[in-house]
Amino acid sequence: MSAQILSGKELSAEIRTQLKQRVAELKQEKGITPGLAVIQVGDDGGSTIYVNNKEKACAEVGIYSEVNRLPEETTQEELLALVEQYNKNPKIHGLLVQLPLPSHIDETEILKAINPKKDVDGFHVQNAGSLFTGLPGLIACTPKGIIKLIKKSGIDLTGKNAVVIGRSNIVGKPVAILLLNENATITICHSKTKNLPDVCAQADVLVAAIGRPEFVTKEFVKPGAVVIDVGTSRVDGKLKGDVKFDEVSEIAGYITPVPGGVGPMTITMLMENTVDAGEMYG
């Protein structure tokens, strides 16, 4: 293998050390301890793991955290009332409702109800609009973490071809806008794209956010490219990315592993957003 590994685990550890410092300063200088509230409805196994990891990460950097585990049958009104409480709670600077929600609850309504200044997931329409139009705001964690990983490679994105596979609101579209902000030429591909391998093979930076294990083979990759793997599918009990790591790592210049790449960055960016919110609006 020739590619250098872009380790999200390592970069996360560095950033968390800085965050610990910022949390300590914020406490000392303004008497503010940044606080994160997480609401989980129902007991989806994946969600429970994510929520636990978020709680641990808070403890690690010194963020105060509250986790609410509500029963599956919680009504939309009850959930909205809890969101409203946290919107007003001065101890809480970041609030997130773990998705997916049970089908009887309207996700869009819940996301809209979160105070945009506490919306550390960056999913509120106002934060999405701010990102899209270049205004300040809280930026979604996965795209934000991806940009930090790419920058870690040291490449200058100006004028580079960046290709994103996937057009979700959580990853594909926002990461494309962030790459555009870095002066890359951006292309968004998806299930309807023709000649997908050829389009991707022109990319200096390739972001795979499709959710299909090992979909991106070496035919998709320009020699020396930066390859970011956002996928996490469980196959026969093993975590697989969207990129066929063994063969792609032979020709890419930089590549993120799965696990240990984008995943840890997402949680660390959630911590960073909470500290940002504490500093800006605390």
Query: Which positions make up the binding site?
Result: 166-168, 232
Identity of the residue numbered 128: A
**Of 30-38, 43-51, 193-201, 249-257: span binding a second copy (CB under 8 A):** 193-201
93-112 positions binding a second copy, by CB under 8 A: 108
The number of residues making up the chain comes to: 282
Question: Is-catalytic flag, 76?
Answer: no
Binds a second copy (CB under 8 A): choice among 1, 24, 81, 125: 125
Contact 268, 60 (CB under 8 A): no
**Of 61-69, 181-189, 223-231, 242-250: span binding a second copy (CB under 8 A):** 181-189
Question: Which among 54, 148, 160, 240 is annotated as catalytic?
Answer: 54
Q: Which of 142, 102, 105 is nearest to 123 (CA)?
A: 142
274 binds a second copy (CB under 8 A): no
Binds a second copy (CB under 8 A): choice among 71, 100, 129, 197: 129
177 binds a second copy (CB under 8 A): yes
Only one residue has tokens 């934060």, namely 127
Question: Which among 117, 118, 119, 121 is annotated as catalytic?
Answer: 121
Binds a second copy (CB under 8 A): choice among 183, 217, 219, 238: 183
Contacts of 259 (CB under 8 A, 6+ apart): 232, 239
The site string for a second copy over 152-171 (x = CB under 8 A, - otherwise) reads ------xx-x-----x-x--
Q: State which residue, 164 or 262, has the beta carbon closest to a second copy.
A: 164
Q: Going by DSSP bridges, is the β-strand pair 226-229/254-255 parallel, antiparallel, or unpaired? A: parallel
Q: What is the dihedral of CA 32, 47, 76, 126, to 10 degrees?
A: 60
Q: Going by DSSP bridges, is the β-strand pair 35-41/64-70 parallel, antiparallel, or unpaired? A: parallel
68 binds a second copy (CB under 8 A): no
Question: Is-catalytic flag, 54?
Answer: yes
Q: How would DSSP label each residue in 166-185?
A: ---TTTHHHHHHHHHHTT-E
Only one residue has tokens 């979160």, namely 114
28 binds a second copy (CB under 8 A): no
- What is the closest distance, in whole angstroms, from the C-beta atom of residue 220 to a second copy in the complex? 14
